[in-house]
Structure 1
Amino acid sequence: MKKRALTILILLVSLVSNVQSKNNDGWYIGTKIGWSNFNLLNYKKMQDIKHDESTNAPIFGLFLGYEFNPYFGLEIENDTTGFFPHLMFQKSKEHIQANNVQISTKLSYPVTDDFRFYTRLGGMMFWENLASKEDLKKTFTKHSCLFPSLSVGAEYIFNDEFITRFDYTWKSSVENIMNLSKPTLGDAVVSFAWKFGKSKINDMFTSYTPETSNQQYVALNENINFPFNSTELRPISYDKLRKINNEINNIKSKKIYITLSGHTDRIGNKEYNQKLSEDRAYSIKNYFTSHGISENQINIQGMGNQYPLTDQVCKDIESRALLISCLAPDRRVEIEVSADQ
């Protein structure tokens, strides 16, 4: 069990360390507003409410997050539920306000560079429980005050900076989960966020004033990743290639040269991987030539599995399925665009 947990941790570290994104890594901060349903919450001030009575309330929150790559991120948020009586349609008008803090991991599934689906897995505790020594002692017991949570949602990114998203979150006590009871809380939320402090390393042009008029400089470096044992381009790869092609067309130089270096993971023999790495590079070349770039401007080289990005991270993984996932950053074509100035 410990070995499997360590393997999964190594896999997550590999994804965080090696999968690169042009637009999606960095910090973001946002606000959320929505509606929460307290149907089965055994809250101190609500003990007299019957389980079949509806106890809905508005929810408002602030959150801070960091995305390591387009697929994985972390978030921390503070939510306040109940700015007016929960029992809006009942005689009781008692004001109840609950504050909680939640930490979660965010796993995203990009459809395009700007639109993606995601899930968040984490845990929530009310501030009053965090301040109680007795409640903290029960954190890892059946009667824990920790509420594991699961969210599903979709988000759209405007101009690489502004995020709007909608999600639904299920929260339930550990005891209810163990008893297979239905979720305690359900939050339907609309969120708005702003990205700041993002890394621009991968999409930054590196240029300088040459000493002579024909000196060459590197104008662009990018990676395109491939599925296991495949030369097929993913839909998200086409989005990225379109942007690269536009950037190439915007380079103010009559002499542009493109070097495509194909790579594979370590699974398979040397001869097969050499051929696979070349074929991956040719699939990128075919895209560029179909968009007006001359074959004479493109140089192909197959690297096989000689230059892995995950050599140390994935070396102890025995499960084939986990190994294939861990080695994903190695299955790539490196695109280097040079120009004479």
Structure 2
Amino acid sequence: MMKMAPSLIAIAMAAMGATAAHAADDIYFGAGAGAAHFNGLNKIEGVKNGEENAAAANAFVGYNFNEYFGSELGYQYAGRGNTDGNRYENQGATLSGIARLPLGGDFSAFAEGGAYWAHTDGMGTSDTKVSPLAGLGVTYQVNDALDLQARYRYMWDVADLHADNVRYKSNQSVATLEAVYHPFRSSYVAPAPAPAPVVVEEAPAPAPIVEKNFALNSDVLFAFGKDSLKAEGIEALNSLYQQIVDFQPKDGSAVVVGYTDRIGSDAYNQKLSEARARTVANFLVSKGMAASKVAVEGRGEANPVTGNKCDGVKAKAQLISCLAPDRRVEIRVSGVQVVQQ
């Protein structure tokens, strides 16, 4: 039965292979270790000493349909207990659906429900059956390629053993710490750096004091999903600030507006757009603009530049690239004197 693990992983890879070409960035692999508990093993009639706790391990392959739902196929070794020194061992295949809830930052929680096809050896006999499975867990994303997570599972009616007029029906629980590898999630290729900030000229006004708009691509300023400036982002803002200085501001004020793409929840995108706008505003203040003259707005995924251009894109990496124009920071400066050409 210990040879089951490689076979299960091979079956899982074959089963997922049909969809891999269309959404390879949603496939992941994982393994973990922890502890198992066999309920009531030391309470069997005639057993003087039963060891209910044992070491456990698992391996699995999963597929995410989106950021909220997925499925997993895996192998679980629930450990080896004993009854009066005799081996009691349980292992098998798991198939479950996963429901995930982002918690903010790099954390998420998940729940699972499914089936456990288990083989049990003990009390001089054995049993194989399919049992219901439920679980809960918490995941921390270390980087694009690696997650760490803790998982707890409970399985009902795992075995029904009969020996010497004694019957034992087993429920069991398993807790594991797991590492999850996303081989394709790190394959995202950032779009080519955008050109220098574009100045959108307003229609000429008779008065010498007008309003100027500047737009900066967020992929130049920030890493995906982050609100701290990259090195090239600082260079772009230095260039933009010099353009503002060259226009000779007169009692100038600025409104910094952040936008995101539509990936992620509304609340997350609103928070990220505000944080990015605030980062740019703080930079302008550090260069000399009065803090009282700089306002900050976050508009989340509102007013997308791409419209419906990316509606047919399904793969996450391609969708991120397609929606790049929507991720931007706009700066509206008032009281800027027009430079005569």
| TM-score normalized by the length of structure 2 | 0.48
More strand by share: 2
| TM-score normalized by the length of structure 1 | 0.48
- Structure with more contact order per residue of length (Cα contacts < 8 Å, sep ≥ 6): 1
